[in-house]
Amino acid sequence: MLSIIVLEDDAASAALVTRIFAMNGHKARSAARVADAWRMLREEAADLLVLDTDLGGEWGWTMLERVRRSVVFRELPVIVYSATWRRDIVRRYMLLGVQGLLVKPYTPARLMEEAARAAESTWREPFFDFAAMPTADGPDAARREALVSLAQDERVILELAARLTNNCADIALQARMTELVARARAAGFVLLVEIAEKMAQGAIEMKMERLPPLFEDLELAFTVLRRLLGVEQPAALPEPGIAPGSRSESVSRASAA
């Protein structure tokens, strides 16, 4: 089953498309505005994005541009449909990267072909340094445990990142972010390593404008991880998941004192 977000401003068309996907076993939600579709996409860490081009004051490529700026969604499968295709519009979408361009009226069979292609996509493979998610009783059980530990610490890690975003000169916070990189690398969570390293580097270089988009990507990374592990978002914890007695914990306590 795929999680699919449909961006379509016409209510009847949105209902039709989502119903076609649902009748074929997929979970589909629709939005009429770019901001709402982006929120849904982040909530779901969806598998496929379906865009109409003319959204009555907004354009489908505006959503796609936002998607491609994300570290998480830069390779997300996207299909676009439109009543007509001008060469400049086709070129714009192709440069941004789409799986398919459909001309209205589309058929259910055509939509299902695109869904099948999205299901076979390997766009998430670079997120981890292993091919398949480790199981609790498999040979990589320790790695799964490390990933679950990261997922359990999601809220406090996000709190750490938020504090760093607001105070990027704090050496203790920089040290904690560096330790998060080490934890993520040990667990094989390449996506989290990339985002945390960029946040740490942005803080060190005092490039505060880089941090808010990276914070959003960090939230997305945890949404992806929880979905692939099949775990719920944890309740807030008092302290980030840093080993007792670690260097960054000592720095933090000294700073608090």
What is the model's pLDDT at position 253? Answer: 38
Q: Closest by alpha carbon to 7, among 42, 35, 27, 44? A: 35
List the structure tokens of 217. 């990507």
Q: DSSP secondary structure string, 5-73?
A: EEE-S-HHHHHHHHHHHHHTT-EEEEESSHHHHHHHHHHHT-SEEEEESB-SSSBHHHHHHHHHHSTTT
Please state, for a pLDDT cut of 90, what percent of the chain lies above it: 60
b/e burial code for range 9-25 (CB count within 10 A of at least 16 → b): beeebbebbbebbeeee
Phi and psi at residue 93, in whole multiples of 5°? -65, -40
Q: What is the mean pLDDT of the chain?
A: 87
SS3 content of the chain, % helix, strand, coil (to 5): 60, 10, 30
Angle between helices 190-204 and 171-187 (to 10 degrees): 160
When pLDDT is averaged across residues 168-191 and rounded to a whole number, the result is: 90
Report the pLDDT value the prediction gives residue 241, as an integer from 0 to 100. 38
For residue 177, the one-letter residue type is M
Closest CA to 58 of 94, 31, 19, 88: 31
Does residue 235 have a pLDDT over 80? Answer: no
Q: Which of 212, 216, 211 is nearest to 198 (CA)?
A: 211
Domain ranges of the chain: 3-123, 126-256
Band of residue 248 on the pLDDT scale cut at 50, 70, 90: very low
DSSP 232: P
236: confidence class by pLDDT, cuts 50, 70, 90: low
| pLDDT tens for each residue of 188-227 | 999 999 998 988 888 888 887 888 888 999 999 999 999 9
The CATH superfamily holding the domain 3-123 is Response regulator (3.40.50.2300)
Lowest mean pLDDT among 90-99, 192-201, 247-256: 247-256
Token readout for 228 is: 């692939």
Quick check: helix, strand or coil at residue 4? Answer: strand
Strand partners, 162: none
CA separation for the pair 248, 233 (Å, rounded): 25
CA dist., res. 78 & res. 70, Å (int): 14
- How far apart CA 161 and CA 73 sit, in angstroms, is 20
**pLDDT tier at 167, thresholds 50, 70, 90:** confident
Q: What is the model's pLDDT at position 210?
A: 80
Q: Tokens 């999601």 belong to which residue?
A: 154
